[in-house]
Structure 1
């Protein structure tokens, strides 16, 4: 998409604040449908008028009163629960100790700028970025109390996700949540480029102020309903197992896929050309993750520029890639959440597509209008 330059998103300072907003929500029959996803596509300037028409026809609702929303969704047997609000972006961290939101991957500036322009044209934050943290027990108790009431929204969407949504509007509960989040240090699980785009909305689109002082975010408690953290595998077109000879004794041939995949570990990756299999032992001299060692040491030794890499979110996808075109699949172990958080807190950016946090909620459950705060109610 751009020259390949990677930058660190701006760092938001504590105290972390999730502010109330007036959520827009598509009708359940529209959420999770491919046609609804296309409704956010070009021309982006038409999205706001399309949403206005849907609201008139009852296909979209718009809350009259701001809230922070507790959103629970279940898909493929996994339940995720999180607080959805407008993440305050107005305070920038001057030191690592002040940081509230930690990115763990860099962003491509051109992609972030395109997303910012897109959101400005739509006048929407169409979906929350995903943040995760280890919540204090007091916050978990407070949200458990909120769930004792009946949800305001409860439905199964077109993709099969089951949703329950509790708007939180009373001042004492909102104040308690704010107090518990004051010292929070959270990790961006998904949405690094949208997070960077939120910052660009503030600087490049002053017409949207003060709505652009915040961006839509969902904060998940990794100790309560943890997001699944999976690996993203690498595909290196044109390489053969023989090219790994430069790595010496760290490469060991194995009998087949079962033995190879069983060997996956924080210090071991697996490689295959689709027929033969081998393991690669990684040097563990520091606290780097396997994906960092692979990029810093192994792939550098193979003289592979990063722009040539392919990525696969499953073993089957990686194997299909090398079946279609000669090359090597490098299968990665799943990273540990604590290791990813530790790297981010130290200011390290992992290689692009180092993690896969799943599942994500369907688009359309909670949408934030940028017109609400910039020009008043729609």
Structure 2
């Protein structure tokens, strides 16, 4: 296998997986990615599903950050010592399949080489929050493990050649594991250990660059931790899932905002001077349809809170947009809903610091955002998703979108395969 190349360099590794005989069920030990878990409700639900649920590693519960990191490392070591987790005997690339109704996604899990050229090979499309990178770096550093793969996409030619040919041969063999999680998705995993097939994958991917679909903070963490270790070390690689979206398109959804300390009546009162504000009928699906209709004509946001009503904000004041949105970015960036939200609404109208976790939370699930706003008295700001082609084109131009602008999916389930950095 080539040691380096001009494109993506995906390497086999000794995957660490749950031993079926030592757990209740595979579905009970898996979790969504760490930033999708709704805390505290979702966290408690996962912890109670099985004493070995992976959430105890990716979101360990303790008072201080280093306590949390030490707890995760100790738990990982214990589960390995007890045989709850075990490394596969051969280094492998893994074919991973997710299916739900007519939604089918297949991709490759492996250890992606991090290099000085990574910035040109792996394209981010969102900014990151330094405190989240610090949190993930502390966890990975202490546990010496990549606990969940981030999601990358690339554009193949849409045919069953190269890496895709290997994937589609593998799925006709019995899988290493198969399970269905409570969200209705079925998951299957196969290992690719044949050196010829590994080389076929490597040669194909070496001609491609990738877009970060999910995991910007983990990618920034990988790059940071790489600089802390003198090469060559296992820290030169990071765990990823690579999906060819020409063959297996992803869905793009919005990430919503919960303004923890802004009551809905105050949010609406201050917005009325700058946006058209009107009440729209519920229930939530009908209100989201109204948001989609408004978003087709320009920037639009759906707000709700403790009063159980929905309000649509659209038609922002053009003069205000001109004053508050930076002009040194492409038009496609300046007109993004997330740009208007962060530069105009948060930064000017509401005066909310986007770097403050006490003031703003980012939640993927629409219903969960609404429920938390109504329970806690804050304001839910519901967003309409961005088209994938806009995301990819801005990334190619080197332009990052405001943080948490998109949610690509389906996301890989956490807990199906891990990578430890002590034995890899």
- TM-score tier, shorter chain, comes to 0.7 to 0.9
CA contact (8 A) 1:269 1:330 kept: no
Q: Deviations over 1:245-269 (max 9, x none)?
A: 321xx51535534473352425231
Alpha-carbon shift at residue 111 of structure 1 (Å): 3.0
TM-score, normalising length from structure 2? 0.73
1:234 to 1:125, Cα distance in 2 relative to 1, 3 A? closer
8 Å contact kept, 2:163–2:205: no
- Cα distance in 1 for residues equivalent to 2:347 and 2:76: 47
SS of corresponding position for 1:371: coil
TM-score w.r.t. the length of structure 1 is 0.81
State which drifts further: 250-259 or 110-119: 250-259
Matches within 5 A, 1:190-209: 190-206=214-230
1:220 aligns with 2:243: yes
* Superposition deviation, residue 149 in structure 1: 3.7
Show structure 1 runs of 5+ residues with no match.
1-12, 374-378
Give 2:188's aligned residue.
164
Aligned: 1:21 with 2:13 = yes
Give how far 1:171 is off: 2.8
- Work out whether residues 264 and 332 of structure 1, in 8 Å CA contact, stay in contact via their aligned partners in 2: no
Worse-matched range after superposition: 342-351 or 303-312: 303-312
Relative to structure 1, the CA distance from residue 76 to residue 47 in structure 2 (aligned partners, 3 Å threshold; closer, same or farther) is farther
Q: Does the 8 A contact of 1:154 with 1:164 survive in 2?
A: yes
C-alpha distance in 1 between matches for 2:107 and 2:128:
25
State whether residues 44 and 118 of structure 1, in contact with CA within 8 Å, keep that contact through their aligned partners in structure 2. yes
User: In 1, Cα distance between the equivalents of 2:375 and 2:167?
Assistant: 50
Q: Is the aligned partner of 1:337 residue 2:337?
A: no
Which deviates more from structure 2 when the two are superposed, residues 74-83 or residues 334-343?
A: 74-83
Does residue 232 of the first structure (1) align with residue 262 of the second (2)? no
Comparing 321-330 with 169-178, which one deviates more in the overlay? 321-330
Q: Does 1:241 align with 2:282?
A: no
Instruction: Tell me how far apart the structure 2 counterparts of residues 121 and 157 of structure 1 sit (CA, whole Å).
Output: 31
Whether the 8 Å CA contact 2:292–2:384 is kept in 1: the answer is no
Given that 2:267 and 2:350 are in contact with CA atoms closer than 8 Å, whether structure 1 keeps it comes out as no
Q: 2: distance between equivalents of 1:261 and 1:65?
A: 50
Q: Secondary structure in 2 aligned to 1:183? A: coil
| 1: CA distance, partners of 2:267 / 2:229 | 49
3-state secondary structure, aligned to 1:151: coil
> Deviation at 1:141?
4.4
Shift of 1:85: 0.6
Per the alignment, in what secondary structure is the counterpart of residue 26 of structure 2?
A: coil
- Structure 2 CA distance for aligned equivalents of residues 167 and 228 of structure 1: 26
> The residue matched to 1:106 in structure 2 has which SS?
coil
Q: 2:339 aligns with which of 257, 279, 292?
A: 292
RMSD: 3.0
Q: How many residues align?
A: 351
Distance in structure 2 (CA, Å) of the matches to 1:188 and 1:294: 22
Structure 1 residue 272: deviation in Å?
Answer: 3.5
In structure 2, C-alpha distance between the alignment counterparts of 1:123 and 1:276, rounded to whole Å: 46
User: 2:103 matched to 1:52?
Assistant: no
Give the superposition deviation at 1:324.
3.8
CA 1:281–1:167 in 2, change beyond 3 Å: closer, same or farther?
same
Q: State the alpha-carbon separation in 1 of the partners of residues 55 and 302 from structure 2.
A: 37
Q: Deviations over 1:14-50 (max 9, x none)?
A: 4111111111111344534243224423413324432
Q: Which residue of 1 aligns with 2:54?
A: 37
Match of 2:414 in 1: 363
* DSSP-derived class of the 2:423 partner: helix
In 1, are the aligned partners of 2:73 and 2:143 still within 8 Å (CA)? yes
Whether the 8 Å CA contact 1:269–1:331 is kept in 2: the answer is no
Structure 2 portions without partners, runs of 5+? 30-46, 61-67, 322-329
SS in 1 for 2:136: helix
Inter-CA distance 140–181: structure 2 relative to 1 (3 Å threshold): closer
Q: Conserved in 1, the CA contact under 8 Å of 2:96 and 2:106?
A: yes
With 179-188 and 262-271 compared, the bigger mean Cα shift is at 262-271
Shift of the alpha carbon at 1:314? Answer: 4.0
Moved more, 235-244 or 152-161: 152-161
